[in-house]
Amino acid sequence: MQHPVIDFIQKTFSVDYVDMITMPGPNKILAEGKEKPLIELIRHCLEISLFRHHSELVAVTGHYDCAGNPGNEATQSQDILKAMEVVASWFPNVKIIGLWVDAS
């Protein structure tokens, strides 16, 4: 799932490097807000990416056949939107996009 996301971001936003923060179902983790240690880990990783690696964009991504978030596209899309709101509350001046990766 990472290669299509990397390719899309590089082409669409004209960047050479993409800093990936991955774990199973991060859109669900952020949307539900229940797993505080994982939420803090995601935030910490984002802080490093944004402030130390100087990333200018955060892409909250979901994909088909996700083991960490087995919801369908509609459910995961709602999770992506909620997760984007969480990230925006942490980093209000950062561009945040939501992406869905399907089987094709």
pLDDT (tens digit per residue) in 86-104: 999 999 999 999 999 998 8
pLDDT (tens digit per residue) in 19-45: 999 999 999 999 999 999 999 999 999
pLDDT (tens digit per residue) in 47-76: 999 999 999 999 999 999 999 999 999 999
Q: Quick one: pLDDT band at residue 18, thresholds 50, 70, 90?
A: very high
The conformational region for residue 25 under phi > 0 = left, psi -120 to 50 = alpha, else beta, is left
Q: What whole-number distance in Å separates Cα of residue 28 and Cα of residue 64? A: 13
Q: Residue ranges per domain, the chain?
A: 2-101
Q: Quick one: pLDDT band at residue 15, thresholds 50, 70, 90?
A: very high
Q: What whole-number distance in Å separates Cα of residue 57 and Cα of residue 46? A: 10
Can you read off the two tokens belonging to residue 38?
A: 């994982």
For position 1, what pLDDT does the model report?
79
